[in-house]
Amino acid sequence: MQTDSSFTFVLFGGTGDLSMRKILPALYEAHRAGMLAASGKIVAVARHEEDRAGYLQWVNEHVKAHVAKSGIDENAWASFVDRIEYVKLDLGKAEDFVKLRDALQDQSATRVFYLATGPSLFVPICHALASVGLNENARIVLEKPLGYDLRSSNAINDAVGEIFAEEQIYRIDHYLGKEPVQNLLALRFGNALFEPLWRREWVESIQITIAEELGVEARGDFYDNTGALRDMVQNHLLQLLSIVAMEPPHSMDSDSVRDEKLRVLRALKPIDPRDISKVAVRGQYHAGVIRGTSVPAYATESGVKTDSATETFVALKVEIENWRWAGVPFFLRTGKRLADRVAEIVVNFRAVPHSALGASALRAGANRLVIRLQPNETIRLYCLAKKPGEGMNLSSVHLDLAFDQFFKEGQMEAYQRLLLDVINGRLALFVRRDEQEAAWKWVEPILNEWAASGKPKPYAAGTWGPAAASAMLAQHGTCWLEEEN
């Protein structure tokens, strides 16, 4: 996958954490792999460095450490750095955007504006770009969070939509660019084996987990005004759910895929505020131990209010009101300071209706498909087999879909794939406005109820969250998958 033509990639927030850890390393990997047009260039925009030399020094000091597990190719790095230009820009100065326009002299190049900034700057930047004509025939990438609730999200989308057409707007969710998520689409829609089983008659429940060992780190101010529901559920988890549950699209073009995801989001069963305590669990981590190291409580983290009611853990039971999934519970879970760092999708198939081989063949989850997104990216199919020896004793075994053994080329990181898609004008893996609105509409009753009542349930750091999250699944005769792989 190579960029089709010349491009200019303008990176707002060029000295920010996201640019340092993800965006610039991803562009370097694409460059090293020969996936960027030779004439393409990167223009970093920030207000901290005085000139290009100072910015390149920052890049060499801070970005190199986040590049490629395989190490740096010094020749490739040198030619990558040659692509980078720098514009010092103050958002409050209109003349600085004239300076930016003058720096983008190649009118034939595809222009991409990546806003790796806080959402409060999205609209001012868009207005400033339009004031100097830089919005025409350009693409703009918006990072999450896009708003605080449905109203603020709509306000941002309305304002940006006055300047950029919907087909110019790329709302990024990096989980959609992960290799196992792409393989989930291939698994479902490229094989006759799984699709007939992908429905209520054969699936007992589905779990989607994104768990982190880290706390809020240096983002206490941001996180205390956001929480896990806004930070993770409204975007990442509901996007993964829509990929898992969507109907087969007639093609993989951008609108076909996103139309099917939207149908899932609109089919989510609305949650009655009176039932929220039954289907939604929120928690907040207290002091605990992770991998032998003591870690502090959330309320004592820097930037966090000592009486904070912000949730650092969410578990939800979700239902989809359509023909394929009626009656199948989807359990979503995310949290900070949990027992392990893992992101995975677990499809639990129904047990056999009758077993002549003993009770083990009837237990929940005996047959399951586990799509692991991190830390290691794998897909495993679990089933039962006879143990060697006397008697018919069954044990769980698994089949690994070992992509690294079949495909010798390295896996592409999520940001690398998505950035190439932006440059090449491919929208399928980006969130459309109506998808985002449907997600906000669904989570808003939970947000409102939690804002008006009580505090999160406590859980010790280094555990899997409040006991109520496990109790919610126990009511359905199942449990969270918490095994080491």
User: HEC string of 251-276?
Assistant: CCCHHHHHHHHHHHHHCECCCCHHHH
Residue written as token pair 């502090």:
296
For residues 109 and 8, the answer to whether their CB atoms sit within 8 Å is yes
Spatial separation of the C-alpha atoms in residues 222 and 231, rounded to whole Å: 10
**What are the structure tokens assigned to 117, written together?**
């900034």
Instruction: Answer yes or no: are the C-beta atoms of 145 and 226 closer than 8 Å.
Output: yes
- Residue among 172, 146, 263 at smallest CA distance from 255: 263
Q: How far apart are CA 312 and CA 300, in angstroms?
A: 13
Helix axes 150-161, 122-131, angle to 10 degrees: 10
Q: How many residues does the chain have?
A: 485
**Cβ atoms 116, 20 nearer than 8 A:** no
Residue 203, token pair as written in the block: 């699936």
Which entry of 31, 48, 174, 236 is annotated as an active-site residue? 236
Could you confirm whether 236 is annotated as catalytic?
yes
Nearest-Å Rg of the Cα atoms of the chain is 24
Residues 6+ apart with CB under 8 A from 28: 63, 67, 68, 76, 77, 80
Residue showing tokens 């555990």:
463
CA–CA gap between residue 238 and residue 233 (Å, rounded): 6
Coil, strand or helix: which one is 250?
Answer: coil
Tokens of 422: 């932006």
280-286: strand order across its sheet = 394-400, 378-386, 368-374, 342-349, 203-211, 330-335, 313-318, 280-286, 457-460
263-294 as b/e, with b when 16 or more CB fall inside 10 Å? bbbbbbeebeeeebeebbbbbbbbebebeeee
| Catalytic residue set | 236
